[in-house]
Amino acid sequence: MKRTLYILLSFLPLGLGAQNMYETASFMQNDLTGTSRYISMGGAMGALGGDISVMGSNPAGIALYRSNDFAFTGSMAFNRTKAAYNGTVVDTDNVNFDVESFGAVLANKVYDGGALKFFNVGLGYRRKNGLANEFTMRGSAIADDTQFSQQYAIRELYDNNPFELEGLDYRAFEGFGYSWLPLLATYANIGDTDGNLLTRTDGSLIFAPTGMEFINEERGGVSEVDINVSANINDRLYVGATFSLAAVDYTANTVYYEYDEVGDIYSIGNYNHIEGNGFNIKLGAILRPFKYSPFKLGVAVHTPTWYDLKNFTYADINGPFNDFYDTRDEELFYDVLQVRSKFNTPWRYIASASYTFGTFMALNVDYEYTDYSSAKYGRVDAGSKYAQNEEIKYNLKEQHSLRVGAEFNLGGGISLRGGYCYSSAPFRSDAYKEMMNMPVTATSTDYNNRFSKEAVTLGAGYRGKVFYFDMAYVYDTQEADFYPYYDREYVNPAAKMEYSNHTLTATLGIKF
């Protein structure tokens, strides 16, 4: 499929710059965030309702409120990433503090004796997706008599769109219609200037590495502000709608090194910042089908989030003779490095069921379906959306998520909770980053194919007459194949990544 995709994309126009599929895929995901009660039940409250966080999953759950509520939740996360590449294993640890959520619900009882019992209003903030992450991978550039190097990928970019090596200066970037990566390599004098960029005529590297290293640091994420209205009809049907304002603020800094026995051959640093705003609408309903039974069914539909994004990216390179170049230098104006785009995430569909056993126990199950291959760019400066939309279509796929949660009331206002979450992989097994169809300003060749994700949650809480306090613990794991660059010959091994996160949250709330 990779070769078929390459042929299709090679006929599509490129643009000066925009987000690539791997960047947008990361902020389309939903983390397990919200109140500690919601988190400790694995986010499985779609039919149970009665928590501020359900504004972001099933808006109808706010209609179950019969009193006002305000809650604030903070978190502390301990993240570990293990990267194994050609026999070398590197562990990276970091700690993040964040505001998970805060919000309020105003419950309005209707006294006219009609079918409408409550008309409630909610307002909340959620950290939808935290993208802070750090990791380092390093290892040998030689295994089983095979030489691995990003330089082969750079050479292929040059061979696809060759240019004169002699007499190049910074003006070569202006109006250049193809990837800037070979230009950077030329300015850094990684290869020679006799018609052979990076490789000799026999195909061997002029500067052959014995090892490589990649350092990644990401910050920021996606947050949403939710405005909710909901209605309780005869204590049997609950309906709700949430209008959400989304904000993206994401920054990635990466450095890729190749070195030999003497030292660094070259290093490429990439900086990328994405910011923007968007909105979506969530609609939901909860039905209690049997009058004298606590069994409830829930459904919810989330529209795409319509984003207006701005991408700012630049790169620098340091060559084997300390030749340094930065794409922000000279006459390369910032307006070339800043690109606006419109991007739409996919639709989401959620089905839920819950049952309560008196006042002792509550159970809830949620199933969510999302087709990430349906996400698309609506507009990209310089018209590069066609190639990127095709990449999304062929590399992303449907995701299935299952969430299960339980709550036990021990009496005296004390509750214990537990949950489990599973989400299938959003990437196809052979997904890859095709640099020949990336925006010309894109010089970062790395990509990360994440697999399925699992999380186990635990929690406890105390409910008083006015105040309540909840805590949650989450342990989530995920594996991935990380590639520092795409190798068309399929010989470059992936770094085997293992992500494991321990998160603690605490919620302080008031009911009145």
pLDDT tens digit sequence for 248-271: 999 999 999 999 988 889 999 999
Q: Which residue has the higher pLDDT, 144 or 173?
A: 144
* Residue range 384-407: mean pLDDT, rounded: 88
Q: Which residue has the higher pLDDT, 126 or 195?
A: 126
pLDDT digits (tens, 9 = 90+) for 398-419: 999 999 999 999 999 999 999 9
Q: Are strands 264-287 and 296-302 parallel, antiparallel or unpaired?
A: antiparallel
Give exposure, 462-480, as e/b (b: 16+ Cβ within 10 Å). ebeeeebebbbbbebebbb
pTM, full prediction:
0.88
Which structure tokens are listed for 77? 């996360």
343: which strand partners? 307, 377
Q: Tens digits of per-residue pLDDT, 421-432? A: 999 999 998 888
Is 70 exceeded by the pLDDT of residue 193?
no
Q: Is the pLDDT of residue 211 over 80?
A: yes
- pLDDT over threshold 50, residue 217: yes
Q: Which of the four pLDDT bands, split at 50, 70 and 90, describes residue 11?
A: very low
What is the average per-residue pLDDT within 435-440? 68
Q: What percent of the chain has pLDDT over 90?
A: 60
Residue 159, burial from CB neighbour count under 10 angstroms (0-12, 13-18, 19+): exposed
Residue 442 has pLDDT above 90, yes or no: no
Q: What is the pLDDT of residue 7?
A: 43
| For residues 381-388, average pLDDT | 66
User: What pLDDT is attached to residue 16?
Assistant: 47
Tens of pLDDT, residues 269-327: 999 899 999 999 999 999 999 988 999 999 999 999 999 998 888 888 898 888 888 87
Mean of the pLDDT values across residues 173-202? 72
Could you tell me the pLDDT band of residue 192, with boundaries at 50, 70 and 90?
low
Of 230 and 189, the one with more pLDDT: 230
Which residue did the predictor score with more confidence, 24 or 71? 71
What is the structure's pLDDT at 237? 97
In the chain the first and final C-alpha atoms are separated, in Å, by: 59
Output 169 or 352, whichever has higher pLDDT: 352
* CA separation, residue 357 to residues 293, 294, 295 (Å): 10, 8, 10
Domains defined along the chain, listed by start? 2-511 (2.40.160.60)
pLDDT per residue as tens digits for the range 74-129: 999 999 999 999 989 999 999 989 999 999 999 999 988 889 999 999 999 999 98
Give which of 221, 51, 192, 210 is closest to 122, Cα–Cα: 51
Decide: 388 and 343 in contact? Cβ < 8 Å: no
- Which segment, 133-147, 369-383, 436-450, 481-495, is predicted with the most confidence on average? 133-147
Least confident range of 43-52, 133-142, 267-276, 315-324:
315-324
The C-alpha angle 55, 57, 61, rounded to 5 degrees, equals: 55
Average pLDDT over residues 188-204: 72
Q: What is the DSSP string of 398-431?
A: EEEEEEEEEEEEEETTEEEEEEEEEE--SB-TT-
Mean residue pLDDT across the chain = 87
Closest alpha carbon to 63 in 78, 81, 51: 51
CA-to-CA distance for 53 and 59, rounded, in angstroms?
9
Beta-bridge mates of residue 224: 126, 246
Q: Confidence band (pLDDT; 50, 70, 90) for 6? A: very low
What mean pLDDT do residues 451-467 have?
Answer: 95
